[in-house]
Amino acid sequence: MGNTMQGFQTGVNLGGWISQFRNGVKEHFDHFITEEDIKQIASWGLDHVRLPIDYNVIEDDQTPFQYKEEGFAYIDNCIKWCETYHLNIILDLHKTAGYAAFSLNENRLFEDETLQNRFLSLWKAFAERYRHYGKNVVFELLNEIVEPNSDRWNRLSKRAVDAIRSIDKNRVIIIGGNNYNSVNTLRELDSIDDENIVYTFHFYEPHLFTHQKAGWESLMKECDFVIPYPSGNEEYQKYISKSDCFQRAYDFEDHIDKETLRKYLQPAVEFMKDRNATIYCGEYGVIDYAPFESNLRWHEDICDLLLEYNIGRCAWTYKLMSFPLVDKDSKVLDERMIKIVSKR
């Protein structure tokens, strides 16, 4: 990556801790990620973590605009641990009042000025709290926007940048594109005249392979065949035998390999060149239902491509969440995967 995000070349997400948690109780928050986990991540040779954060860890809907120190303490501790073990950190707002990509029925953010003000106020609180940190702490405005187009997100993200800049002039800020941070919507993002803006995308292509049998996607439950990587005509014939609805939902080709992944990446590469912008792959990964050897091969290819294009990356995810590098006790599942995702 360019100078904008030195030290964010290869990382891992801390999903499931203070975001997308099943049980928001103190015992979970105290034990899901600890200093020992950060120490282990650093030992792999990674240089950063991305910390997904749900707003309700630090703000209750009953008392909006009032922030909970006990919630902020988990973020503070993670930053401190990262400093101890020489890791950088991205603070990723994964869910804000009125919006979460994993529950789109809640999406009221873009119609409700009060919810937008809560979003902006929260970022001002982050900016104020962490203003004295250096380039080791980066802000990511909001995870995986899903909107009919990018217009409303362009307006709100600019307001958020202005809110942060009113307090912190130089903090690196990450903005993602529409449709779950798709590479294909990066070009819809407005240019912002600010040298500390970075644009992000997520990479789970082809979705039919990386999310096969995902229980949270109703159509995926119908996918009764295993998809390897690379894959060829045999899998393609099984794919085209499915319903039209299935085919409209998932793009798949008669041959999937490294060059197919390169093709999927091209909109991001072109955006980077056209805008002279820094871009970053904030999530990539494969569900644990996929054949593991295929999982390894896919990771090897995408990591090699991102290295080739000098695009920083962050694996999804460290623990559990169907995309794990370690088990519930933080034990590494396969050292070969660690070697791949930490490659520089």
Please tell me whether residue 66 adopts helix, strand or coil conformation.
coil
Per CATH, the homologous superfamily of domain 3-206+257-341 is: Glycosidases (3.20.20.80)
Nearest to 17 by CA among 30, 5, 3: 30
Position 228 scores a pLDDT of 97
Burial of 257 per CB tally in 10 Å (0-12, 13-18, 19+): middle
CA distance 50 to 314: 7
CA distance linking residue 188 with residue 200, whole number of Å: 13
In this predicted structure, what is the pLDDT of residue 24?
86
With CA atoms as reference, report the closest residue to 311 among 171, 183, 142. Answer: 183
Each of the 344 residues of the chain gets a pLDDT tens digit; together they read 455 788 899 999 999 999 999 888 999 999 999 999 999 999 999 999 999 999 999 999 999 999 999 999 999 999 999 999 999 999 999 999 999 988 888 799 999 999 999 999 999 999 999 999 999 999 999 999 999 999 999 999 999 999 999 999 999 999 999 999 999 999 999 999 999 999 999 999 999 999 999 999 999 988 889 999 999 999 999 999 999 999 999 999 999 999 999 999 999 999 999 999 999 999 999 999 999 999 999 999 999 999 999 999 999 999 999 999 999 999 999 999 999 999 99
What amino acid positions are annotated as catalytic residues? 144, 283
Going from the C-alpha of 327 to that of each of 20, 33, 292, the distances in angstroms are 17, 12, 15
What is the predicted pLDDT for the residue at 3?
Answer: 59
Q: Is this prediction's pTM over 0.75?
A: yes
Yes or no: say if 160 and 201 are a contact pair by the CB < 8 Å rule: no
- How far apart (Å, rounded) are the C-alpha atoms in residues 16 and 28? 10
Helix (H, G, I), strand (E, B) or coil at 35: helix
* Other CB atoms within 10 A of residue 324 CB: 20
Q: Find how far residue 55's CA is from the centre of its chain.
A: 16
Distance of CA 197 to the CA centre of its chain: 16
Contact 92, 140 (CB under 8 A): yes
Q: What is the pLDDT of residue 4?
A: 72
Q: How far is CA 288 from the centre of its chain?
A: 18
Domain ranges of the chain: 3-206+257-341, 213-255
